[in-house]
């Protein structure tokens, strides 16, 4: 049997349609859940179902694109903040505070929090959604930060026996409280956010500094 290959549309017009489809899918999934029909998304995007399947081979692939694009936008600020901090400062506390503020500014947006809640709610039935979130989440900035930690470990500034664990602990101190409160329909205020970041970074460095 001959395998049929899907040729993804390319070019400026195709990119505009892809953007419209992803935006419509994000709104539809958030409003109706992962079980929302492709026909609903097609109407919202003002395209045909065939056009959607030309761009995305399945609803799962489309959802992955929604997650990828949402997290790419959310994490761009934190990545830029981290890279800018590393270029401008040698103060590890300042670097971590600025990076944490970037994480919160991106990941604690209402739509991102709502999308995360949707993924968490559907992950048991559709584990690939949870895997897609993890692959596109804060782990994207981990490599840069892990490299900085290792450099400072070698210089004798930090004593971190497990860098991956330390990254999880840093996320837990400065970012994860927003996820917990969002699960109850609450948002953390600006002052409390600043306190979580500044005191969280201080706790982290007090534990790992030499």
The Cα 203–Cα 153 span in angstroms is 18
The Cα 8–Cα 23 span in angstroms is 18
pLDDT at 136 over 50: yes
What architecture is the 67-208 domain classified under in CATH? Orthogonal Bundle (1.10)
CATH number of 7-57: 1.10.10.60
Domain segments of the chain as ranges? 7-57, 67-208
pLDDT tens, 20-30? 999 999 999 98
pLDDT tens, 175-187? 999 988 888 888 8
Name the nearest CA neighbour of 189 among 200, 174, 178. Answer: 178
In a 3-state reduction of DSSP, which class is residue 13?
A: helix
pLDDT tens, 82-110? 888 888 889 999 999 988 998 888 888 88
pLDDT of residue 44: 93
Tokens of 44: 């919202």
pLDDT of residue 23: 93
In a 3-state reduction of DSSP, which class is residue 125?
A: coil
Give the DSSP letter of residue 138: T
The pLDDT of 44-66, averaged and rounded, is: 91
Residue 197, C-beta contacts closer than 8 angstroms, at least 6 positions apart: 97, 100, 101, 104, 174
pLDDT at 2 over 70: no
Give the DSSP letter of residue 209: B
């Amino acid at each position: 049997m001959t395998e049929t290959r899907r040729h993804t549309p390319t070019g400026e017009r195709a990119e505009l349609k892809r953007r419209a489809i992803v935006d419509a899918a994000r709104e539809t999934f958030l409003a109706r859940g992962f079980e929302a029909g492709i026909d609903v998304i097609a109407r919202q995007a003002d395209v045909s179902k065939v056009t959607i399947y030309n761009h995305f081979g399945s609803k799962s692939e489309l959802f992955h694109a929604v997650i990828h694009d949402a997290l790419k936008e959310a994490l761009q600020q934190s990545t830029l903040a981290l890279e800018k901090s590393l270029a401008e400062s040698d103060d590890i506390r300042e670097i971590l505070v600025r990076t944490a503020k970037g994480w919160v500014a991106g990941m604690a947006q209402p739509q991102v929090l709502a999308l995360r809640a949707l993924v968490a709610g559907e992950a048991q039935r559709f584990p690939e959604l949870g895997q897609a979130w993890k692959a596109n989440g804060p782990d994207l900035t981990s490599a840069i930060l892990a490299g900085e930690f290792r450099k400072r470990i070698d210089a004798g500034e930090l004593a971190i026996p497990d860098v991956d664990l330390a990254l999880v602990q840093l996320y837990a101190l400065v970012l994860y409280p927003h996820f917990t409160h969002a699960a109850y329909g609450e948002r953390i205020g600006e002052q409390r956010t600043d306190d979580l970041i500044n005191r969280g970074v201080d706790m982290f460095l007090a534990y790992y500094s030499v």
